[in-house]
Structure 1
């Protein structure tokens, strides 16, 4: 019997529209959203990068970039999500490409080597615990900084990356000022910034950032906004390409 057939209660299998690749998720835990998919497609990869995914959840980013990286380490604090991530690696026959480690990246030496990575992905909790209506359980930890703050995340990335390594992050535009300061404190410089707008006439609700460790602060590229839906409410051509949909 395949792993796909051996689903546990509250689990479902979703198609990633990537060469038959699939992902198992739990309906009572935080499921990945467009944020993670957009982040996975933001940095350019050559196939030689050693990649780290901080807070991998069920492992969606590693599954999406596995064909374009040398090796990926996926770190997850939530034991339920970490177990699912490991199962998803096996389900997609990627055990030679992706290593899942359960643990708290606020203690980086316990999980990964210093300066060992070329690229770090981070889709961190967006909101401080003092803001917003606090949801409960796993969803709260995914949306709010209950276990790791912005500074914790940037510090872990800095520890993991070699000089000249890149951090790719998705976050809220309203926290750009804080993010730039947190990056500067860990010797990062923002080199690419792209806002994500729900529609062309709406303000951005997400942003994609690529920062380089040890780089000069000059030379940031502010890229054209990524528009999610057109005037009729349909996905734009770029979003459809990202999702692997036929044009």
Structure 2
């Protein structure tokens, strides 16, 4: 086993169902879920984009999109997650494509240059700290609640990073759409694509995928057909199976 795949206590290796790529995650921390995978597949990419992933965690989104980008910068606040993300990049032999940086994107100028990127990914904490029971464990709590960065912080960092005409791809909760549109507008970003994610056809959306463009007019948003996760029999839909490479 290579030194990068040698597991430390409370670690496991998961298959990403993508050309043999794997990811090391901590069993006692927050592991990536379907929302990250759906987000990685949402924007249309040409292979020429300079990409930034805000709050990369263990680096799942960069690993999933690396083949479709020119270069990827992955930023993470947690030293533990940063170290895991860097190991995952090395394990998958992507050091020439993906750069991992530890730091707080609430101070974006310390991590990346202004207007440096064509596309920014964000799978931010979904809930303000005042809502719901905060998850046990520092990693889980920070991933689900706005403990280290608010929605406004995330949008500001994305706007700082993007060139004029660059795109922000974000996954979030439908119930916060009004707040999100307001936060984007404050940073001169306009929603251009919106897609709701429904657990089943007869269930209300529980996630949404947003693509916003820096400097664009507020008109012309495309509301795309909902992405349905499971069919009436409880099986994953064909679109979900395709996203996961037929291995779900």
Q: Is TM (by shorter chain) over 0.5?
A: yes
**Structure-2 separation of matches of 1:5 and 1:52:** 25
SS at match of 2:200: coil
- The equivalences for 1:32-181 within 5 A come to 32-136=32-136, 137-181=138-182
1:29 and 2:33 equivalent?
Answer: no
**Structure-1 separation of matches of 2:94 and 2:86:** 10
Q: Is the 8 A contact 1:53 1:72 kept in 2?
A: yes
Corresponding pairs, count: 247
Superposition deviation, residue 138 in structure 1: 1.1
Superposition deviation, residue 3 in structure 1: 3.2
Q: 1:246 to 1:5 in 2, by over 3 A?
A: closer
Superposition deviation, residue 4 in structure 1: 5.2
Match of 1:196 in 2: 197
Q: 1:5 to 1:109 in 2, by over 3 A?
A: closer
CA shift digits 1:57-116 (9 cap, x unpaired): 000000000000000000000110010000000000000000000000000011011000
Q: Is the 8 A contact 1:197 1:228 kept in 2?
A: yes
Match of 1:238 in 2: 239
SS at match of 1:25: strand
1:12 and 2:29 equivalent?
Answer: no
Q: TM-score, normalised by structure 1?
A: 0.99
**Structure 2 spans left out of the alignment, 5+ residues:** none
Q: Is the 8 A contact 1:59 1:85 kept in 2?
A: yes
Superposition deviation, residue 5 in structure 1: 4.2
Q: Is the 8 A contact 2:4 2:87 kept in 1?
A: no
Superposition deviation, residue 6 in structure 1: 1.0
SS at match of 1:61: helix
Q: Is the 8 A contact 1:173 1:205 kept in 2?
A: yes
Runs of 4+ in structure 1 off by over 4 angstroms are: none
**Structure-2 separation of matches of 1:12 and 1:108:** 32
Match of 1:215 in 2: 216
SS at match of 1:194: strand
